[in-house]
Every structure is written in structure tokens, then in C-alpha cells.
Amino acid sequence: MLDLWITYGRAAYQNPDIDERYHYMYFDCADDDNDDDEYDNGGLVISLDGKIVGMFNISSRGSFIPSSILLSCVDLWKKYGRIPRPQLGMTFEAIKLLEPAHVDKIWCMCHIDDGLVVQEVLKGSPADKFGIERGDIVECFNGEPISNTVELENRLMNTCKGLSDNYNDLVEVHVSVVVFHTLKKQRRIGELTVSVSDLGEIIARGTHLL
């Protein structure tokens, strides 16, 4: 016999922890006494108008994978038999999801209130060679403003959808970025030629720190 239950709450964007994927969203339970183990791995997240908006995964913070990511994964799997993704060699935090004092500081220093703050850069990566450093802000990706890491993951996956039908041909892709270098107070537009892989992206801890 199956045990079924419904948990009510609010879906929200958050900056992921160091060991969490960038395509997660999070479930803020309306009941403050809700235990973490009540988030059912594989359970559906359904909006109040009855639409499926995601699927829970194992997490201590009630994270779930939004349906936009799941559908992209299905499309890529049907096409390639795997899920390719451009490897940027960077980790990020969304400005809008930082503490208010941090957001105000960025605004006062850079007059920027949206985008992704670079947390780490993989040494020797295209981003590193372009001169991107910890604390810089990625404002646009492939010509469009970027606000959070879920948006970024959707665009990275979409980058691979319109390419060759043969996965073996997906060695590298070109992505454009608008970067604000916070130390130099300089905005640059550049194109990064990045590798494509179906493996998870791993950034070694402590690389390219100021």
C-alpha cells in the first residue's frame, strides 16, 4: 500500500549550496514544522492551477527540478541518447538572491542590480583566459539578460538543441557573454569557445580566488 500525502508551499529561486546543481528550484513549505524527510523523492510539484512544474529530488532543502529543465533533458536524450551541456568553467550566485546589504553594495559600486556574480573560475578555462575573475558579473548570456542559475542552465541546454544530430560532433560550442569586471569597472562583450560534455561540471575548490 502506498503512502500518499500533499505538502503545500511556495516555489522559489535560491542560490544553490556548494554541492547542489544549478538547475534546482526550492520549495518553501507553508508549515514551519515540516520535516525534511517529508519531501518525497520523485514526487511531483503541481501549481495551484493544476500544472506540473517540477519533480522533487533527494535534498535536505526541499529542492526540485523545474519542468523546463526536465523537458530539455528529455529532448536532448531523444536526440543524442545523452544530455550534453556546455562547460563554462565558472560558478555563480544570482544578485537578486543575495542578502539585501550585498545587493546594495553591488549597486553602489557598479550600478548593477541583476546578473550572476562569478564565485569561482576554473584555471585555464576559456573564461579564465578571457580575464573573468571572482566577483565579476555576467549580465547577459547569448545576447539576453540573465537573472538566475536556472535560466542559465536552460540556455546552456538549449544551445545544444539546434546543433549537429551527431553527439560526437558536439566537441565545442561558442557562447557570448557580457561581463562587468568589478575591479576595473569595465564592461566587455566576448565570445567563449567552451567544451561540451554529458558529465557534471566540477570546479576545483579555491581556483582563481582574489
Helix segments in 5-112, DSSP class H = 67-80, 100-110
Comparison of pLDDT for 119 and 40, the residue scoring more = 119
Has residue 91 been placed in a domain? Answer: yes
Looking at the predicted structure, is the pLDDT value of residue 146 above 90? yes
Q: What is the CATH number of the domain that holds 144?
A: 2.30.42.10
pTM: 0.79
Q: Considering the domain boundaries, does residue 144 fall inside one?
A: yes
Nearest Cα neighbor of 92 from 164, 155, 39, 49 is 155
The C-alpha cell at 82 is 545523452
Question: In the predicted model, is pLDDT for residue 165 greater than 60?
Answer: yes
pLDDT at 20: 67
- Provide the domain limits for residue 31: 10-62
Tell whether 95 and 186 lie within a shared domain.
yes
Strand ranges across the sheet with 63-66: 9-12, 25-29, 63-66, 52-56, 44-46
Nearest-angstrom CA–CA distance, 95 and 93: 6
Residue 193 lies in a domain: yes
Stronger pLDDT, 51 or 36, i.e. the higher one = 51
The mean pLDDT of 48-52, rounded to a whole number, is 84
Which pLDDT band holds residue 210 (cuts at 50, 70, 90)? very low
Answer whether residue 47 is part of any domain. Answer: yes
Please report, in angstroms and rounded to a whole number, the separation of the first and last CA atoms in the chain: 56
